[in-house]
Amino acid sequence: MHKNIQILHIPSSGTTQYVKHSWVAHVNNKCVGHIHLQREANKKIKFLDAWVHEDYRRQGIFRALWNTRWEFVNKEFKGFKAYAWAKPMSLPLLLEKGFSEGDNCIYVEKQIKDNPPYGPQCFVSC
Ligand SMILES: CC(C)(COP(=O)(O)OP(=O)(O)OC[C@H]1O[C@@H](n2cnc3c(N)ncnc32)[C@H](O)[C@@H]1OP(=O)(O)O)[C@@H](O)C(=O)NCCC(=O)NCCS
């Protein structure tokens, strides 16, 4: 990894039920990557929103962030189950780390138009 890069942990505030931890990779006051975890019900933690600045990719920053977060969860979340919705670029590292692959999930979308018909449409022909 780039030698000047450091990793900062942003802990959960502890003031609400929403528990999120973040790790920020930075160099010379510039954020070059981040990674997060969110605590959920039933002793689950979700890994989410990994991102590395385009100019700094393929230098091991995601791996370094991932390993730092993993050390933390092994101390703080023993007995929990970690899961993630992986994209093609993040899946290989998760598989390498021993995560098992579940179902695929496909993104779908639809534009909501102005004045959508409310209830069943009544066609008038004359
Ligand atoms: C995915 C992302 C975080 C990887 O960051 P990175 O710092 O470039 O990754 P690293 O250099 O630490 O690579 C770690 C491992 O991830 C995998 N990986 C990273 N980029 C990859 C790519 N373009 N294609 C396939 N695998 C990739 C490889 O297994 C790699 O290990 P290797 O270098 O030994 O082959 C970065 O490309 C990104 O921000 N992408 C856009 C956002 C995104 O898709 N985030 C995932 C959200 S779930």
What burial letters (b/e) apply to 24-47, b meaning 16+ CB within 10 Å?
bbebeeeebbbbbbbbeeeeebbb
The residue whose C-alpha atom lies closest to atom 25 belonging to ligand 1 is: 89
pLDDT grade for 115, boundaries at 50, 70 and 90: confident
pLDDT grade for 126, boundaries at 50, 70 and 90: low
CB-CB neighbours of 22 under 10 Å:
18
Residue 59 tokens, joined: 């230098």
Strand order across the 44-52 sheet: 6-10, 20-27, 30-40, 44-52, 81-84
Give the Å distance between the CA of 25 and the centre of ligand 1. 14
pLDDT grade for 112, boundaries at 50, 70 and 90: very high
Q: Which of 57, 97, 105 to mutate to test the pocket of ligand 1 (most atoms within 8 A of CB)?
A: 57
**Looking at the domain assignment, is residue 103 inside a domain?**
no
**Looking at the domain assignment, is residue 123 inside a domain?**
no
For residues 97 and 66, is the Cβ–Cβ distance under 8 A?
yes
In ligand 1, the atom with minimum distance to the C-alpha of 47 is 48
Give the Å distance between the CA of 91 and the centre of ligand 1. 8
Count of structural domains, the chain: 1
Q: What pLDDT is stored for residue 39 in this prediction? A: 97
What burial letters (b/e) apply to 59-95, b meaning 16+ CB within 10 Å?
eebbebbbeebeeeeeeebeeeebbbebeeebeeebe
Domain boundaries, position 11: 6-96
Which CATH number covers residue 34?
3.40.630.30
In ligand 1, the atom with minimum distance to the C-alpha of 65 is 12
pLDDT digits (tens, 9 = 90+) for 66-76: 999 999 999 99
**Looking at the domain assignment, is residue 91 inside a domain?**
yes
